[in-house]
Structure 1
């Protein structure tokens, strides 16, 4: 074959290959199949039953209703059934129904009986369900619903007593007990409740007393308690009124018979309606050992150990006592909340938040439950001049320890 012929054949081959490649390039690519759009999965329907002991028609109930309306809008799949139970019946009703295997999914109440409920397996431990979800709650609030290192509620409202005063009658509230005594001796009238609960902050922080040691044994007779009671008796002798009828004491304050009274945030709305802008709130007067440390109680949402919807109940509780829910409680009900991330518009509510956060967390031990009777008797004997303070406290401590099995 000649070289000319060979070149012609090569040219034809190249031309055929080029045409083939062009034909292949012009063939459309097969369509890419796209995944169909994912269908939105609606969350499953959940039904929760909750109890509260707020008085019907009062501000705390109104606050809860408002929060639940917002929750319903944000969680349309959740139905919340609400039952109001009278306060004097809610603990016994919870114990009876939960103890029988029933009851609601959760209820809210003060931590008055938390220790007993924990020991009776009547509230669910929540450490796992609340892990990583307690940001924004104050240390006092968390401590108030913790027993033996385990948390048993979503904390909310924190309560401790402070000094209400009438600005029209006293320009500056007494910061110390000595200042209080000087005002009383000068003719300014105050009324205090003759009950150990209202005066606990004097017994402990103000005079440095310790009620129990780490074992639960009463050691109040070792200092502080007797000195506080003796000083309060001296205040009574100087003219400070000690009243056993709380309703009567409240009326005296609202009608301007006295310039101040020791009470808690549950009276804020009532006193504000009576005194308006003349109402002030301050810490209890400090004593020789330091600031008074009143007992701080915490209202929380407690979860039923029988509930099959504990996780949903906890999420609801976190919503109610979360930042937005707590803001509603403070604005609508005037409730001091156990959070550090809520802006408070009312300075009187802020004052009670500060008071409670500086208080003494209510103990949840078996032994603490035995202090009320003996020390109520002791305080009455001292204030009535029946027994010296040291003798009365020694007897109260002995009675408390006997009841606790020491």
Structure 2
């Protein structure tokens, strides 16, 4: 079962991860009754009501749709403002609705025909949800050409030739540095280690690095030397491949010695937020905490190892999914498509998201823009190096055994190759 991305980022380093990465945190508890009251667009059984009305210019009959999300408070407020703008300027009505447990809600309501027209989450659910019949192929109905998005974003919203979502942002990890300690970002791991050596003093609660060691965060180095976790085209594991093991060993040799012993998200984050480490490897979701703690931080791509190796972190694409409840309901489908097309291509909306929340644009016009905020440009460089998380349903079984294997090696309980060979055996048994 895929996990909440924020859960793995904040809680699962050093524990068992059971799924892929997606979604947001900071949500309030919202039951189905509250959701119905929020949306104003669902009947007592959760099904969507649609309104008849004038035809929009290009999207068919007007309609009302609900958009389920699990966003943090500030991001939620921005989405609601966007929905109001869209509603006021079109014949459609957009109704964002906050859901406390989006995975539970989508997997229970959509099969029963009671789901929202769209939901907001990252791309890692694409394959599983499409194969389970939860998503709707809107390929022939969209007015936007997918070529306006970056190539990874185009790939993220498609599965088996079906277009089941539209993308609006990307996320990945990058290097965050404290400008009071570091003048400029190091370009190489060797340069980074020299600075970490200077500051690392555990007896005085100083460390060289803040770096949660979960599968998502570690992917950059597992891929850097030609390795991989999972090849979805061949449904093949690569955890015990020599190149992948080289990446895990690289982490053990170059980062672990400079970190607090507890490599979970919160202990690692605290070190940087308290001003006790010059570097953090983390993502744009971390920037709010950085600013709240008055850390003057710079953002850069991950440094390069020696030789031809380059870090290739996993990236996630945030997208608006079309659900199967749209089938046979053209008014709701038209409204959903119109909003998704507008939200994912309007440069004012995308620029505001980048400025306020560090969203990394996947719209080609903005993705390489020099006008993006400095922090976003730094993460955008890491995205350009990265590779999207596989959308194949089998990927969900990879995370937990991978993290268990790495932790057993880090703690001195197993040898590297044998630990990951065993992890692959466990994963394959789950597939069977």
In structure 1, the residue matched to 2:175 is 163
Distance in 2 (CA, whole Å) between partners of 1:345 and 1:365 is: 32
Q: 1:10-29 counterparts in 2 under 5 A?
A: none
Which of 41, 58, 64 lines up with 1:47 in the alignment? Answer: 64
Distance in 1 (CA, whole Å) between partners of 2:141 and 2:394 is: 29
Q: 1:378-393 counterparts in 2 under 5 A?
A: 378-393=405-420
Which of 273, 298, 310 lines up with 2:333 in the alignment? Answer: 310
Which of 294, 302, 318 lines up with 1:284 in the alignment? Answer: 302
Judged with a 3 Å threshold, the aligned counterparts in structure 2 of structure 1 residues 231 and 331 are, in CA distance, closer, same or farther, namely closer
In structure 2, the residue matched to 1:61 is 76
Q: 1:201-350 counterparts in 2 under 5 A?
A: 201-204=220-223, 206-213=224-231, 214-235=233-254, 238-241=257-260, 243-276=262-295, 278-287=296-305, 288-307=307-326, 308=329, 309-322=332-345, 323-342=347-366, 344-350=371-377
Q: How many residues align?
A: 358
Distance in 2 (CA, whole Å) between partners of 1:162 and 1:262 is: 6
Q: 1:85-124 counterparts in 2 under 5 A?
A: 85-86=99-100, 89-124=101-136
Distance in 1 (CA, whole Å) between partners of 2:214 and 2:156 is: 22
Which of 116, 127, 141 lines up with 2:153 in the alignment? Answer: 141
In structure 2, the residue matched to 1:394 is 421
Query: In the alignment, is the contact (CA less than 8 A) between 1:125 and 1:151 conserved in 2?
Result: yes
Distance in 2 (CA, whole Å) between partners of 1:271 and 1:187 is: 19
Judged with a 3 Å threshold, the aligned counterparts in structure 2 of structure 1 residues 332 and 235 are, in CA distance, closer, same or farther, namely closer
Please report how far the alpha carbon of residue 242 of structure 1 lies from its aligned counterpart in structure 2 after TM superposition.
Answer: 5.3
Which of 195, 208, 215 lines up with 1:183 in the alignment? Answer: 195
Structure 1 residues not aligned, in runs of 5+: 1-40
Please report how far the alpha carbon of residue 312 of structure 1 lies from its aligned counterpart in structure 2 after TM superposition.
Answer: 2.3
What is the RMSD computed on CA atoms of the aligned residues?
2.1
Structure 2 residues not aligned, in runs of 5+: 1-53, 201-207
Judged with a 3 Å threshold, the aligned counterparts in structure 2 of structure 1 residues 42 and 147 are, in CA distance, closer, same or farther, namely closer
Query: In the alignment, is the contact (CA less than 8 A) between 1:68 and 1:320 conserved in 2?
Result: no
Query: In the alignment, is the contact (CA less than 8 A) between 2:210 and 2:268 conserved in 1?
Result: yes
Q: Which has the larger radius of gyration?
A: 1
Distance in 2 (CA, whole Å) between partners of 1:223 and 1:106 is: 42
Distance in 1 (CA, whole Å) between partners of 2:351 and 2:196 is: 38
TM-score by length of 2: 0.77
Distance in 2 (CA, whole Å) between partners of 1:66 and 1:212 is: 39
Please report how far the alpha carbon of residue 73 of structure 1 lies from its aligned counterpart in structure 2 after TM superposition.
Answer: 2.8
**2:64 is the counterpart of 1:80:** no
In structure 1, the residue matched to 2:27 is none
Distance in 2 (CA, whole Å) between partners of 1:353 and 1:236 is: 23
Please report how far the alpha carbon of residue 196 of structure 1 lies from its aligned counterpart in structure 2 after TM superposition.
Answer: 1.7
Of 146-155 and 98-107, deviating more is 146-155
SS of 2:237's equivalent in the other structure is coil
SS of 2:349's equivalent in the other structure is helix
Query: In the alignment, is the contact (CA less than 8 A) between 1:158 and 1:296 conserved in 2?
Result: yes
SS of 2:281's equivalent in the other structure is strand
Q: Deviations over 1:116-171 (max 9, x none)?
A: 10110101112212365224211121112222333210111211111111011122
In structure 2, the residue matched to 1:19 is none
Of 258-267 and 128-137, deviating more is 128-137
In structure 2, the residue matched to 1:366 is 393
Query: In the alignment, is the contact (CA less than 8 A) between 1:194 and 1:242 conserved in 2?
Result: no
Distance in 2 (CA, whole Å) between partners of 1:225 and 1:52 is: 35
In structure 2, the residue matched to 1:8 is none
In structure 1, the residue matched to 2:40 is none
In structure 1, the residue matched to 2:47 is none
